Amino acid sequence: MKIAFFDTKKYDQEVFEPKLKAAKIKAKFYDTRLDEDDVVLAKGCDVVCVFVNDTVNTTVIDKLKEYGVKMIALRCAGFNNVDYKHAAEVGITVVRVPAYSPYAVAEHAMALLLTSTRKIHKAYIRTRDFNFSLQGLTGFDLYGKTVGVIGTGKIGKVFINICKGFGMKVIAYDKFPSKDLDVEYKPLDAVYREADILSFHCPLTDDTLHMFNFGTLGKIKPGVVIINTSRGALIDAEALLEGIKNQKIGAACLDVYEEESGYFYEDLSGSIIDDDTLSRLISMPNVIVTSHQAFLTKEALENIATTTIENVKQIDAGKECPNIVK
């Protein structure tokens, strides 16, 4: 068996290589993303392993089929970038890693929130220049605040527990509420109206695309803090920017951005960013952007590699695999 890994970084290769060797699986690692131009790199491989910003559309899938590829292995939970229905039609199996470390993502969401509300990023920059002034660094307590958690899957549940540890009141929205979760579920509009902090933890689907939009701005509490560590397109970036400019939104903590492909994971420090919305968001003093980093812990990388390889082995052996995207 031979796997072509796309959009890989050094940390991916370091964790995958020992496991691939143990499983006697050959692999090629490419730093380029899979798309219509670079799909030719998959020639001669049985499997392609892709990440969140690879483009696996109908055209790419048809080419993969032509090259003899039998499986698309996502090394992430989300699969909105894969036309999995077309893949099934042409006989290519799609598998994913549904849970690599919900703690990694939930903890990053809280780290962003604390950094924003207590101005830790600004204090760090100041003290590096031996500026010890506290002017402009006033934050607010999380204790007693209402946090609205949108999406109560594995990550959402961990985030809820963290928030409860801070003494916060938690309300939640989910299309499919969890029966075993001790949390007050409310309609989405009610969550928008009541929450001091909104944190998004749901997959990107037709139903959730731009679930935060220009219409939402009339529903939210003035000064609300927005956190998104899930998928960028849950939030209409133009609406978010408008809300920040009009001071309806007090702060935004973003680990994802709806047009992040081509920017995130790359060093563009010497380049001009041609996405005006992203540039303006980053320039705002009350916005923190990290580069889809929430998953990046040693534990998560180990789990991603282990599950990905196990998925491939199970499908290759004709065994039942619980992680097939259907």
Q: Is residue 321 in some structural domain?
A: no
- My answer on whether 248 and 135 are in the same domain is yes
Other CB atoms within 10 Å distance of the CB of residue 9: 12
What is the span of the domain harbouring residue 280?
102-289
- What residue type is 46 in one-letter code? D
- My answer on whether 162 and 106 are in the same domain is yes
Predicted confidence pLDDT, tens digits, the chain (326 residues): 999 999 999 999 999 999 999 999 999 999 999 999 999 999 999 999 999 999 999 999 999 999 999 999 999 998 999 999 999 999 999 999 998 999 999 999 999 999 999 999 999 999 999 999 999 999 999 999 999 999 999 999 999 999 999 999 999 999 999 999 999 999 999 999 999 999 999 999 999 999 999 999 999 999 999 999 999 999 999 999 999 999 999 999 999 999 998 899 999 999 999 999 999 999 999 999 999 999 999 999 999 999 999 999 999 999 999 999 98
Looking at the fold, whether 124 and 77 belong to one and the same domain comes out as: no
Let me know if 184 is a catalytic residue.
Answer: no
**Residue 49: predicted pLDDT:** 98
Do 54 and 164 share a domain, yes or no? no
- Identify whether residues 277 and 146 lie together within a single domain: yes
Q: Of 219, 220, 152, which Cα lies nearest the Cα of 183?
A: 152
Question: Is residue 245 domain-shared with residue 124, that is, in the same domain?
Answer: yes
Residues 113 and 209 in one domain: yes
Q: Which of 108, 201, 231, 258 is catalytic?
A: 231
Determine contact, residues 195/171, Cβ cutoff 8 Å.
yes
Same domain, yes or no, for 84 and 44?
A: yes
324: in domain:
no
At residue 113, the pLDDT reads 98
Residue 325 resides in a domain: no
114 and 136 housed in the same domain: yes
Annotated catalytic residue: which of 184, 260, 280, 302?
260
Assigned token pair, 66:
């032509």
Is 260 one of the annotated active-site residues of the chain? Answer: yes
Is 248 inside any structural domain? yes
- For residue 322, being part of any structural domain is answered with no
CA–centroid distance for 151 within its chain: 13
The 10s digit of each residue's pLDDT in 53-71 is 999 999 999 999 999 999 9
Residue 316 — φ and ψ, nearest 5°? -65, -35
The model's pTM = 0.91
Active-site annotation holder among 292, 299, 302, 310? 292
Assign residue 277 the CATH number of its domain. 3.40.50.720
- Say how many domains are in the chain: 2
126 assigned to active site:
no
For residues 239 and 106, membership in a common domain is answered with yes
